[in-house]
């Protein structure tokens, strides 16, 4: 019986090691950069107009992750797209800029788009893969637009990790309250001061779903125009694990040595 138990223990340990080895192997990657420019357009004032698009993204050993990265890029500006390849995506942007400048012969402009997908810090012992996708875009107007979004995945199931996977369901209101106190302190607001200068619905603080799992806490990111004006810029809000430890589920996504 002891020998059988020892054999089972070795088998379970080997299976666990093998699964984790595969997981580690699946997130091995190198960065790749693609860039395309339009042909130079010389205006009547002798200005040179050149539109450009640049993509930088990780190429994983596991092709499943590469497809996920591709869709993150393709859908970074719209909710859905029909692009099949990166080349199609690059050409579509340049073709749109050329067409727009052909219609705006008097005031042609250089279009610019830069998109970067980055692998965020990973933590030993966790089964998460966190990515950020940052975008800078100018196609005319008063100023360019920029955004940053985070996505956190379970490396085994490849499902998106949601707040509900991290926080006990009956503790979500408490999480929002704790985050609101941190927000007010960060912004120099009193506990009862109005939020009329922010874009929260009904002037009531709320958390978004754009967060990153970090070593110290959950980092929420609000993009320009989301809760305040473009001129005031984006906002980061770190909610430390130390302040929400009692709200957390036991899971393989949060660093266990955060206390």
Nearest to 31 by CA among 67, 58, 70, 62: 58
List pLDDT tens digits, range 37-86.
999 988 878 889 999 999 999 999 999 999 999 999 998 766 567 899 99
- What value does the mean pLDDT take over residues 115-119? 97
Would you kindly state where each structural domain of the chain is located, as residue ranges?
29-154, 163-247
Contact 156, 127 (CB under 8 A): yes
Whether 110 has a pLDDT exceeding 60, the answer reads: yes
Q: If pLDDT is split at 50, 70 and 90, which confidence band does 176 have?
A: very high
User: Model-level pTM?
Assistant: 0.86
CATH number of 29-154: 3.30.565.40
Fold of 163-247: Actin; Chain A, domain 4 (3.90.640)
Please name the residues in contact with 147: beta carbons below 8 A apart, sequence gap of 6 or more.
76, 134, 135, 223, 224
- What value does the mean pLDDT take over residues 93-117? 91
- Number of helices and strands (H, E) in the chain? 6, 10
Residues above pLDDT 90, as percent of the chain = 73
Question: What's the confidence (pLDDT) of residue 78?
Answer: 62
């Amino acid at each position: 019986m002891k020998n059988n138990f020892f054999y089972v223990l070795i088998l379970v340990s080997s299976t666990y090691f093998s699964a984790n080895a595969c997981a580690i192997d699946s997130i091995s990657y190198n960065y790749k950069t693609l860039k395309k420019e339009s042909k130079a357009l010389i205006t009547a004032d002798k200005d040179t107009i050149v539109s450009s698009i640049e993509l930088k993204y990780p190429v994983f050993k596991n092709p499943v992750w590469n497809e996920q990265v591709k869709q993150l890029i393709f859908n970074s500006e719209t909710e859905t797209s029909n692009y099949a390849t990166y080349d199609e995506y690059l050409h579509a942007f340049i073709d749109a800029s050329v067409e727009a400048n052909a219609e705006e012969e008097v005031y042609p402009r250089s279009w610019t788009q830069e998109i970067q997908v980055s692998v965020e810090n990973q933590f030993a012992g966790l089964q998460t893969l966190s990515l950020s996708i940052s975008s800078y875009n100018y196609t005319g107007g008063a100023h360019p637009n920029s955004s940053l979004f985070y996505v956190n995945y379970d490396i085994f199931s490849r499902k998106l990790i949601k707040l509900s996977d991290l926080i006990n369901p009956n503790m979500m209101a408490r999480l929002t309250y704790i985050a609101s106190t941190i927000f007010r302190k960060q912004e120099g607001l009193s506990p009862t001061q109005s939020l009329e200068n922010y874009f929260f619905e009904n002037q009531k603080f709320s958390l978004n779903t754009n967060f990153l799992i970090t070593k110290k806490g959950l980092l929420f990111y609000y993009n320009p125009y989301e809760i305040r004006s473009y001129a005031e810029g984006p906002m980061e809000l770190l909610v430390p694990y130390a302040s929400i430890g009692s709200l957390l589920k036991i899971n393989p996504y949060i660093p266990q040595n955060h206390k």
